[in-house]
Each structure stands twice: as C-alpha cells, then as structure tokens.
Amino acid sequence: MKLKNVSIPIIFALFLVVISSKDSEQKQQEDRIKLGQKIYPAPIPSHLSFAGESVPLEKFEVSERLDRELLVNTYWQSNTMLILKRTKKVFLVIEPILEKYGVPNDFKYLAVAESSLINATSSAGAKGVWQFMKSSGRSYGLQIDEGVDERYNLIRSTEAACLYLKEAYTRYGNWTLAAASYNRGMSGITRDLNKQLVNDYFDLHLNTETSRYILRIIALKTIIKNPKNYGFMIEDKDYYASIPSREIYVDTTIMNISEYAQSLGSNYHIIKSMNPWIIKNELKVASRPYTIKAPLN
C-alpha cells in the first residue's frame, strides 16, 4: 500500500514533464517561425516559355509538375545557389556557341538541368556539362579515348550538343520535343508520339524522368532569371568569375604536362583544371592539333 501511494506522485510528475516537453517543443517551433523560418509556395508566373514556345500551364497537370520543380529547386538552397554562382562563367562560353549554331539561348538551361554546370559523371557513364554518353559523344564529333575526353571540353561538347539539337529540331519542328529527346532519345520520343497519337510534349504520357525533364529546365530558367523572387539574395560580386586565360596552339606531342606547365609559368594543377579533357600527364598529337588554355602571366 505504501508503494502504491509513492507511485502516484511519481507518475504525475512524469506526466508534467511530458506536457512541459511538448510545450517546450511547441514554443521552440513558434520561436523559429517568429525568427523568419517560414516556408512559402514558390511563385508560378502567369506566362512562361521555352525557346520561344509557350508553356501551356492550363493543360492537365502541367502547372502542378512545374510547381514541383520550382519547389524542389527553391528549397534545395545550397545546390541552387551553387548553380547560380556558376552561371555567368559557364554561360559566357555556351551562349555564343548556341547563337553561332542557331540554337535558342534557352538551351543553356538544359545544360543546367543535365549537370548543374559542372563536369559531372552519371551512374550510366554520361560525362561533362552536357552529359554525353561515350557512343553519342563520338557520333557528334567528340574525341573520346584513353588520352583525351572532349566531353569535358566545354566548347567542343557545346558544339556537339548543338549538332544533336539541330538534328532533333529538323525531325520534330519543335524545340520542346528536341529538348525532351535529349533526355529520352530521338527514337524514344518518336516511338511515344506515334504510339500515343499526339504531337506535343505536354500531351505525352512519359516515364517519370522525361516527364519532369522539360519542367525542371523551365523551373531552373525561371529561378536563374529571377533569383530574388525565390529567396536567393545573390549579388554581382557573388558569381564565379572566369580565369583570365590565353589559348595556345599545340601541334606537337606534349610528353609531360607537369614540365610543360612549368614552361608556361604555371603548374600541373592549373593546366589540368583549365583543360580537364586532357586525361593523362601527356597529350599525344596525331590526327589533329589542339588548343590548350593557360592563365595569363
């Protein structure tokens, strides 16, 4: 009987601790909200386009799919901020090549969606900013062997991407479908169009990856063009800058990149970083010359 009497106040005290703990957690949450940690829906503009083609936000699920991509990229703050910081440096190279080949400027955002503007390697083996597989890269003129991998050459890989996109546009007469085929493949998109008896990307029933693909590109374009609308307080000084460089014509084999770098007043790390397409500590010149980037002295 004595033990029972003692247990009642203990149980009551534990009950008060639990209630107090819940109250404390609620208060902490309220304090966080007061401090500005609020989550808002990402704004969806009333009109959007890709490569001059209007995005039909009124079509079934299109606005919801876009909303998903805006939310994912708005609240994946670290990744999107890094993308923003890289844009000026990388777009400076990509934009004039797109213009030269007659490919709409909006396709620079396809490169963002593919790789976040870094020389990434996918689980399937696609590489570079434009994420070419080895076979497709070679078919569009890139040298890919044990010594050189031009998927890592931003100029050459952008040119290859332009060749692909122009071929796809010739087939479809539509830049949105051309962009979708960059993810799905031309044979896959053609097969889907014929099977489903439609001629518009936004009417296609696709696998999850390709279904999200164009909307992700459009979402990234929207955020990059209007970062402060999505909470990214980035100033001009925050963007990564290009390294002042010079181009060196190379028509004879370089036997040792380390020694060659020193002869330029540089070092191995800098030369390899500026020319990531050079795979080894040598550059064999056989069928054609190369252009190497080096820092200005």
Q: What average pLDDT does range 46-55 have in this prediction?
A: 97
The pLDDT, as a whole number, for residue 167 is 98
Q: What average pLDDT does range 270-286 have in this prediction?
A: 96
Q: What are 211-235's pLDDT values in tens digits?
A: 999 999 999 999 999 999 999 999 9
Distant-in-sequence contacts of 160-166, Cβ < 8 A, 24+ apart: 160/130, 160/132, 161/107, 161/110, 161/111, 161/130, 161/132, 162/97, 162/98, 162/100, 162/101, 162/103, 163/101, 164/136, 164/140, 165/103, 165/107, 166/101, 166/102, 166/103
User: What is the rounded distance in angstroms from the CA atom of residue 108 to the CA atom of residue 278?
Assistant: 24
Ranking 33-47, 72-86, 230-244 by mean pLDDT, the lowest is: 33-47
The pLDDT, as a whole number, for residue 297 is 75
User: What is the rounded distance in angstroms from the CA atom of residue 80 to the CA atom of residue 297?
Assistant: 34
**Cβ distance 127 to 119 under 8 Å?**
yes
The pLDDT, as a whole number, for residue 1 is 43
The pLDDT, as a whole number, for residue 2 is 42
Other C-beta atoms lying within 10 Å of the C-beta of residue 68: 16
Q: Could you tell me the pLDDT band of residue 12, with boundaries at 50, 70 and 90?
A: low
Judged against a pLDDT cut of 50, whether residue 3 lies above it is answered with no
Structure tokens belonging to residue 149: 């991998």
Mean residue pLDDT across the chain: 92
Q: How far is CA 215 from CA 13, 42, 111, 244, in A?
A: 55, 14, 14, 35
Report CA torsion sign: 128, 134, 136, 139.
positive
Q: What average pLDDT does range 84-101 have in this prediction?
A: 98
| Architecture of the domain defined by 49-238 | Orthogonal Bundle (1.10)
Judged against a pLDDT cut of 60, whether residue 32 lies above it is answered with no
Judged against a pLDDT cut of 80, whether residue 99 lies above it is answered with yes
Q: What are 167-224's pLDDT values in tens digits?
A: 999 999 999 999 999 999 999 999 999 999 999 999 999 999 999 999 999 999 999 9
Ranking 27-41, 66-80, 134-148, 264-278 by mean pLDDT, the lowest is: 27-41
User: What is the rounded distance in angstroms from the CA atom of residue 144 to the CA atom of residue 160?
Assistant: 13
Q: Could you tell me which residue, 32 or 183, shows the higher pLDDT?
A: 183
The pLDDT, as a whole number, for residue 287 is 84
